[in-house]
Structure 1
Amino acid sequence: MLLSILTLLALRLGETSAQTIHPLHEELRISEGDNITLSCNFSASYTSDILQWYRQFPRSSPEFLLYISQQGSTSSLPPRVSPAVNSTRVDLEISSTAVSDSALYYCALQPTVTETHQTLY
């Protein structure tokens, strides 16, 4: 059976123009049981930036899937899902795909706050 993975509306959380993220493919069509790798290219200002993946099923809100830091640390992982990151790309691999994996997948870049802010009186 053919399943469609609509890929990767890339999001950028934060307002710094030096940080960008965008998908390598807009849509992928695969067969059930295949392994698939979804990828986003990114550029980031800080090595502490966190890359996130979300998925959205039809007629549902987006749901958080996982995060991965540029150093490779991750949140807990859903079954059959594994992330990878290098200096310019973040991948999400789904093994043994099922029809239930058909969804819209989002990649997002979230910088962590590194500045010191003054208290306002």
Structure 2
Amino acid sequence: MFLSNDIIHICCCNVFTAGAVGSNITPEQTIISSPEGSNTTLTCTYDDSADYLHWYQQKPQSGPEFLLLVIKSSNNVTKAKQLDPRISIKLHQDKKKVDLEIFPAAVSDSALYYCAMEPTVTQNSYTLYKK
């Protein structure tokens, strides 16, 4: 049995979808509790409209912070500037799933994690300008 400070609690509850109506990305689990030092994997399932798949982390009293992005067509990965080397992304195109892997997991990883997608076709073609 683990003490409460030896368990990490991860939520993957909220999801962002940018672009076309009907685009969808869904977490497979909403709450994960893992022992410290374990391999922890968060998985989201996406639909065919996804081209860019993102992961974000949100700690208490903070905004979401970018972790990783994978481009589905090329498997190219973009990482946050100071990404913890314990965190990685894995794309399973055959299953339409994207994983965020944390190994070894630490209590400090307890947070809310967001998976997000960007489709190539959007209904908003407006250009944004900075004044």
Q: Hey, what does 1:84 align to over in structure 2?
A: 90
Distance 1:5 1:24 in 2: 13
Unmatched 5+ residue regions in structure 1?
A: none
Amino acid in structure 1 at the alignment position of 2:54: Q
More displaced, 5-14 or 95-104? Answer: 5-14
Q: Hey, what does 1:25 align to over in structure 2?
A: 29
Distance 1:10 1:91 in 2: 14
Distance 2:75 2:13 in 1: 20
Q: Hey, what does 1:100 align to over in structure 2?
A: 108
Unmatched 5+ residue regions in structure 2?
A: 1-5, 126-131
What is the CA-CA distance between 1:6 and the residue it aligns to? 1.1
Q: Hey, what does 1:74 align to over in structure 2?
A: 77
Secondary structure of the 2:55 match is strand
Q: Structure 1 length as normaliser, TM-score?
A: 0.84
RMSD between superposed Cα atoms in Å? 1.9
Q: In percent, how many aligned pairs have the same letter?
A: 41
8 Å contact from structure 1 (residues 8, 106) kept in 2: yes
Distance 2:26 2:69 in 1: 16
Q: Hey, what does 2:49 align to over in structure 1?
A: 45
Distance 2:100 2:75 in 1: 13
Runs of 4+ in 1 over 3 A off after TM superposition: none
Secondary structure of the 1:100 match is helix
Q: Structure 2 length as normaliser, TM-score?
A: 0.78
8 Å contact from structure 2 (residues 49, 120) kept in 1: no
